[in-house]
Amino acid sequence: MKKLFYLFIVLAFVSCNSGNKKTTAEEISTVPAEIVETTINVSGMHCDMCVASIEKGVNELNGIEFVKASLTDSTAFVKFDASKTDLNLIEKAIEKRGYSIKEGQSN
């Protein structure tokens, strides 16, 4: 009879803990990546330090896959995950560094 009682206790304990499964961040994140590539026309770049500043500012955002600023044509090519950031935040990061966005952006 004692064995049956202990068996019951063990089964109750096991069944109560079976619902305590921990989930990982990968299991929670169900939003698929939406990779977007765009070219932003930037005004106010004058030197290589300007290029580095823009690239650093944009790279600080979540979801940035790639950024390359060009002094030659005053643009910034950005590849990003639209489920984590958006074009508006990228432009604000550039403006925060002291540059302005020109109208007529090409994608």
pLDDT exceeds cutoff 80 at 71: yes
As a whole number of angstroms, the distance between CA 20 and CA 27 comes to 15
Domain boundaries, the chain: 31-107
CA atoms in the 13 A half-sphere facing the CB of 18: 7
The mean per-residue pLDDT over the stretch 10-39 comes to: 65
The mean per-residue pLDDT over the stretch 68-72 comes to: 97
Predicted confidence band at 16 (pLDDT cuts at 50, 70, 90)? low
Cβ atoms of 80 and 64 within 8 Å: the answer is yes
Edge-to-edge order in the sheet of strand 100-101: 64-70, 75-81, 35-43, 100-101
Predicted confidence band at 107 (pLDDT cuts at 50, 70, 90)? low
pTM for the predicted model, two decimal places: 0.68
CATH number of 31-107: 3.30.70.100
User: Among 80, 68, 71, 77, which residue's Cα sits nearest to residue 105?
Assistant: 77
Q: What is the pLDDT of residue 83?
A: 94
Above pLDDT 90, what percent of the chain?
Answer: 64
Q: What is the pLDDT of residue 25?
A: 53
